[in-house]
Amino acid sequence: MLETLFSHLQGSPLALFGLWGLLVFCGIGLPLPEDTILIAAGMLASAHQISWVYTSALMYVGILAGDSIIFALGRYFGSRLLEQRWTQRILSPTRRERVQEMFKRYGVTVFFVARFLPGLRAPIFCTAGAMRAKYGKFLLMDGLAALVSAPLFVWLGHYFWLRFGDDLARASSALARARSLTLAAGLACFTLVIVGGYCLWRKTARA
């Protein structure tokens, strides 16, 4: 996947905006790995001597735009959208029940966690819109999660280019290892947030 993206887009510095568009469509439900797009953006930026910080900001906006679109679709079309046959292929009744149960148990924390759940992210965000969740809380939690992932993967792409150049086979191998480490780090951060929140709640309840 990384090799395909890079080989097709490396000829133009404007290709970053093509990757930006892909991120928007990923938010809507396009089945492409977001981390691979971000790493490709970092590699392209480095190849064209574009700041990885600027690239991270650009990709960050694309991520939030895509997530906001799927949230808005749920908000403004609600149950009509969820009842469509093509929608139910992604948002099946069983999956919606799981999402609603997650809302009841974890509240707005679900928005943060959903960023790291590719198969459930679009259903969660669309269902949240349909359930009239507050957009401000959604954007805050989703934005915080994206602030963790977007700069990290763009920087990895920048690093891969400096280390491997256009040897995409080695870069792809490094990406596979990086995914495992990132997943472990993400789970550790999530555990810390849950445990910290629970301890704070217990302390407040006793006061």
Q: Residue 64 carries which side chain, given as an amino acid letter?
A: L
Residue with the two structure tokens 């991270």: 56
pLDDT tier at 122 (50, 70, 90 boundaries)?
Answer: confident
Domains contained in the chain, number: 1
What local confidence, expressed as pLDDT, does residue 25 receive? 86
The predicted pLDDT at position 137 comes to 87
- 135 within 8 A of 71, measured Cβ to Cβ: yes
Domain around 192: 2-206
pLDDT digits (tens, 9 = 90+) for 154-189: 998 888 888 776 666 666 666 666 666 665 665 666
Kindly report, residue by residue over 134-146, the tens digit of the pLDDT.
888 889 889 988 8
For the segment 34-62, the average pLDDT, to the nearest whole number, is 89
Region 36-41 average pLDDT:
87
Q: Is residue 49's pLDDT more than 80?
A: yes
pLDDT value, residue 19: 86
Rounded to an integer, what distance in angstroms lies between the CA atom of residue 16 and that of residue 9?
8
Q: Using the predicted structure, report yes or no on whether residue 65 has a pLDDT greater than 70.
A: yes
Q: How many residues does the chain have?
A: 207
- Model's pTM, two decimal places? 0.74
Give the 3-state secondary structure percentages of the chain, helix then strand then coil, rounded to 5.
Answer: 85, 0, 15
